[in-house]
A and B are shown apart, each in its own frame.
Chain A
């Protein structure tokens, strides 16, 4: 149980294009989802917190106009990287919190999306 999927798993795009990444909770409802970015050999850095039906809360230094987050349902959140540049190349990981399972704070992670911007 508590499975989170992400799509696509890997994407290569040209500089200046936009890329959408989907995060789905498959067997539970996730009122809150989190988006992280991870550069090689570094830890996860939280980008934003996404709550169903409301605007996302972004961490300091993360541009909300560049990283658009939509959490339209209890099982789906999307992250759109707009006008991507090579420095946006990274591993993007989402997580979801299932308030009905065990600790209310346990986050379950998706498999991640490897973005490469040429």
Chain B
């Protein structure tokens, strides 16, 4: 099986930086995704990491260390609209050829003025 852990909630002020950590334990690993989900809406794709290192995309960056089973999503210059749940998801092709995603419970980020 797979265990995916991320903090339940984080609070930060507008304009600040927040880092959301995600640790995973899996027998096989083929990539890690970050999705953003606003309340009552479907998740939207933010990033995909399969190799070690940092992927930067505008205000959002995602980092992966495969040896440590660790990833983080970095949100810079926070805006009020960034208040949402951020989901970490792992894909494991060894266990499943269809490429199913296993999601963490999500981290609720609250941005305050």
Q: A residues engaging B (CB < 8 A)?
A: 32, 34, 42-46, 49, 51, 57, 91, 93, 97, 102-112, 114
Minimal beta-carbon separation of B92 from chain A (angstroms)? 10
Chain A residues with CB under 8 Å of B101's CB are: 34, 46, 107
Contact surface of B with A, Cβ cutoff 8 Å = 30-31, 33, 35, 40-45, 48, 50, 87, 91, 98-106
Once the chains are docked, how many angstroms separate the CA of A44 from the CA of B36?
12
Tell me whether A97 and B41 are in contact (CB under 8 A): no
* Contact status B33-A106, CB under 8 Å: yes
CB of A43, distance to nearest CB on chain B (Å): 5
| A-B pairs with beta carbons under 8 Å apart, 26 shown | A32-B99, A42-B105, A43-B87, A43-B104, A43-B105, A43-B106, A44-B87, A44-B103, A46-B100, A49-B98, A91-B40, A93-B42, A103-B31, A103-B48, A103-B50, A105-B31, A107-B33, A107-B45, A107-B101, A108-B45, A109-B42, A109-B43, A110-B42, A111-B41, A111-B42, A112-B42
Cα A8 to Cα B104 in complex, Å, equals: 27
Closest Cβ of chain B to A50, distance in Å, is 10
Within 8 Å CB of B42, what residues of A?
93, 109-112
Most buried by B among A43, A104, A107: A43
Cβ contact within 8 Å between B103 and A51: no
Q: Are B48 and A57 in contact (CB under 8 A)?
A: no
Q: Which residue of A lies closest to B88 (CB)?
A: A43
Query: Could you tell me the distance in whole angstroms from the C-beta of B104 to the nearest C-beta in chain A?
Result: 6
A89 to B40, CA, bound (A): 14
Query: Given A93-B42, A103-B50, A112-B40, 11 more contacts at CB 8 Å?
Result: A32-B98, A42-B105, A44-B87, A46-B100, A46-B101, A46-B102, A104-B99, A105-B99, A106-B48, A107-B45, A109-B43
